[in-house]
């Protein structure tokens, strides 16, 4: 729930920067430093999940439910399967898996988790192919979180130099 809390605080901060409380400014040095740390924590937790996916049998990993849903669901009804992931105490935890026939997830569902990984329903998908596809998607998210952390730190350094 790290990012959910971060987004909530940013929204509250945006409402408060209209003159009332500058300490709640989401662009303050402390907020940017905290944001960078949260993005790094997300990346680290997802890296651990990728290692688990790579090193453990799927049936012993947190992504077993995603694999089961993706490989056994009827593709004439369901298009994609999503695993919702929260970071709790520095560890990625798959909190739920859900199928989607079409469209996209409601914003309140997406905001209620730190990140998610979505794959197409593919009956008969081999475990190695699943591991590759999900690992690749998680690796892309890791890169995005690292880039966001670097951006937050760069903004922090730029402001401290001015």
Confidence category of residue 154, pLDDT binned at 50, 70, 90: confident
Domain count, the chain: 1
Stated pTM of the model: 0.77
Q: What is the pLDDT of residue 158?
A: 62
Closest CA to 154 of 61, 48, 29: 29
Q: Among 87-91, 96-100, 109-113, 118-122, where is mean pLDDT lowest? A: 109-113
Provide long-range contacts, Cβ within 8 A and 24+ apart, for 59-64: 62/92, 62/93, 62/94, 63/94, 63/134
What is the chain's mean pLDDT, rounded?
83
Q: Does the pLDDT of residue 83 top 50, yes or no?
A: yes
Residue range of the domain that includes 102: 2-161
| Collapsed DSSP state (helix, strand, coil) of residue 89 | coil
Q: Which residue has the higher pLDDT, 102 or 13?
A: 102
């Amino acid at each position: 729930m790290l990012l959910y809390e971060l987004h909530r605080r940013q929204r509250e901060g945006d409402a408060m920067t209209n003159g009332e409380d500058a300490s709640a400014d989401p662009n303050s040095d402390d907020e940017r430093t905290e944001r960078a740390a949260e993005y790094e924590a997300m990346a680290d937790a997802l890296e651990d999940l990728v290692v688990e996916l790579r090193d453990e049998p799927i049936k012993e990993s947190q992504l077993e439910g995603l694999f089961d849903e993706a490989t056994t669901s009827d593709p004439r009804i369901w298009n994609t399967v999503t695993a919702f992931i929260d970071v709790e105490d520095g560890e990625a935890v798959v909190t739920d898996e859900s199928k989607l026939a079409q469209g996209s997830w409601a914003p309140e569902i997406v905001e209620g988790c730190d990140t998610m990984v979505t794959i197409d329903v593919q009956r008969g998908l081999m475990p190695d192919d699943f591991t590759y596809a999900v690992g690749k998607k998680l690796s892309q998210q890791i890169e995005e979180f690292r880039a966001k952390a670097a951006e937050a730190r760069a903004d922090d350094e730029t402001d401290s130099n001015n």
